[in-house]
Structure 1
Amino acid sequence: MYTTRQQLELGIRWIRRQRSGILYYCTVKQARLVRLFEYQPSLFVLGQEVMLRWVLFALFLGICASAGEQKKRKVQPQSFSRGWGNSISWVQSYEEGLSQMRKSQKPLMVIHHKVDCPHSKALKKAFVAAKSIQKMAKEDFIMLNLLEETTDKNMAPDGYYYPRILFVDPSMTARTDIVGKYSNRKYSYEPGDMAFLAENMKKVKALMHTEL
C-alpha cells in the first residue's frame, strides 16, 4: 500500500484523454480504466475551483488555530508554586521575599526542598491538602519555596537538610525559636505534622501583634 509521500512522488497521475467521452485514471503501479463521468471541461474547472477553495479554507483554519495556541502560551503566567499551592502568590527569590515582607509587613515563610527528595514530595502533598495552611499561606504570609540555598546562614541554623521550613519577621529576624517536633532536625516537618505546622504559623502571626 502506497504512503502519501509515495503517491506524491511516484504516481497518482491524472491523464485526461477524451476517448469516447471517458476520463482515465492511472498510477505508476497499474493503469486501469475508470469511468468517472462524461468529460465536460466546465465541470472539471468548477471542481478544481471548489477544491482550491477548500484547501485555502483549511490552511486559514490551521493558521488561526496555531496563532491562538501561541497567544495562549505567551499570556500564561509563570508559576513559582512548584506544586506547593497554585492559589498562593509565591515570590521568586529570597531577596524578593524580604522586599515584599517589608512592604506588606507580613512574615516570610521559607520552604527549603528538593525535587527528587521523597520526604519533600510527601510534605508537599500534605501541605497542599491542608486547607487551613493553604488559607493562611495565601492571606497572611509572604510565601517562598526554594530549590537552592540562600547566602543567609540564618536560613540553616542547624544544618542543610530537606525539607525544612523557617520564618522571617518584618524586622528581618529569622524566627529560629519557631521549631518543629524533632530535636535533630528542628525545622523539619513530616506529612503527619500539618496540625503542628498550622499552630506554628498561628504563633508567627501572633508575634506580629505582640513583638513588632
Structure 2
Amino acid sequence: MAAGNIMKAFFTLIFDKVHCSSLSGRDNGFGNNYIWAGSLESGLQIATHHNKPVMVIIHKSWCSACKNLKPKFATSSEIQSLSKHFVMVNLVDEEEPKNSSFAPDGSYIPRILFVSPKGSVDHDIYNEEGSSQYKYFYSRPEQIAKSMRKVLEKYKHEQFDE
C-alpha cells in the first residue's frame, strides 16, 4: 500500500513537472511579465489540468496593428492582474492554428480568442466595442480586460487554481 502511494506521488510530481515545463513560451513583444505557454497544444493541456480558461493571441510579425497593440498589452497592469487566472498563449506567423474555430469570422490579425477550461473556443466572448465584422479584433487594453472579466464571470462556477 505504501509503495503504491509513493509511486502515485512520484507520477503526480513528474506529471506536474511536464505540464509546468510547457510554460516557456516567448512573449513576441506582448510582454515578458506574463507567463506564456510554449504552444497552443501545451496551453490547452495546462488549461485542462489546472481548470483555467485560455487566452489565445494570434498575430503576425509584419502586422502594423499587431505592433501597435503589443506595447499597450505589455504594460497593462489590468491585463497582467487578470492573466493570473488564464493560460496565456501567444501564436505568431506560422504558429496560427489551421482549425477554423480559431478564425470564426475570418483570418484577420490580431485576433484574441478565449478557450473554455474544457478546451473549446468560446465564440460568445468577443470585443463588444469593436466591429461586428471583426469581432475578435482588439485595439485597446481596456477592451481586452473587459472580455477577460466576462470569461472569468462566465466560468466562475469552475474552480480555478491560484
Q: TM-score range by the shorter chain?
A: 0.7 to 0.9
Contact in 2 for aligned 1:132/1:198 (Cα 8 Å): yes
2:87 maps to amino acid? I
Question: 80, 89, 96: which is aligned to 1:149?
Answer: 96
* CA displacement at 1:157 relative to structure 2: 0.4
Question: 60, 71, 90: which is aligned to 1:114?
Answer: 60
1:167 maps to amino acid? F
Cα distance change on mapping 1:79 and 1:210 into 2, 3 Å: closer
* CA displacement at 1:159 relative to structure 2: 0.9
Cα distance change on mapping 1:157 and 1:79 into 2, 3 Å: closer
Matches within 5 A, 1:33-72: none
* CA displacement at 1:140 relative to structure 2: 0.8
d(CA) in 2 for partners of 1:112, 1:79 = 14
Sequence identity percentage: 39
- Over aligned residue pairs, what C-alpha RMSD do you find? 1.6
Contact in 1 for aligned 2:25/2:39 (Cα 8 Å): no
1:85 aligns with 2:36: no
* CA displacement at 1:173 relative to structure 2: 1.9
* CA displacement at 1:185 relative to structure 2: 0.6
Q: Provide the TM-score with structure 2 as the length reference.
A: 0.76
Contact in 1 for aligned 2:31/2:71 (Cα 8 Å): no
Contact in 1 for aligned 2:43/2:87 (Cα 8 Å): yes
Matches within 5 A, 1:171-190: 171-180=118-127, 181-190=130-139
1:183 maps to amino acid? S
1:99 aligns with 2:45: yes
Structure 1 unaligned segments of length 5 or more: list them. Answer: 1-77
Contact in 2 for aligned 1:167/1:178 (Cα 8 Å): yes
- Structure 1 runs (4+) deviating above 6 angstroms are none
SS of corresponding position for 1:173: coil
d(CA) in 2 for partners of 1:110, 1:198 = 14
1:126 aligns with 2:72: yes
Contact in 1 for aligned 2:31/2:75 (Cα 8 Å): no
d(CA) in 2 for partners of 1:146, 1:79 = 9
Cα distance change on mapping 1:124 and 1:155 into 2, 3 Å: same
d(CA) in 1 for partners of 2:25, 2:50 = 21
Structure 2 unaligned segments of length 5 or more: list them. Answer: 1-23
* CA displacement at 1:211 relative to structure 2: 7.2
Equivalent residue pairs, number: 132
d(CA) in 2 for partners of 1:105, 1:211 = 7
d(CA) in 1 for partners of 2:153, 2:31 = 23
Higher normalized contact order (CA 8 Å, seq sep 6+, divided by chain length): 2
The structure richer in strand per residue is: 1
Q: Provide the TM-score with structure 1 as the length reference.
A: 0.59
* CA displacement at 1:199 relative to structure 2: 1.1
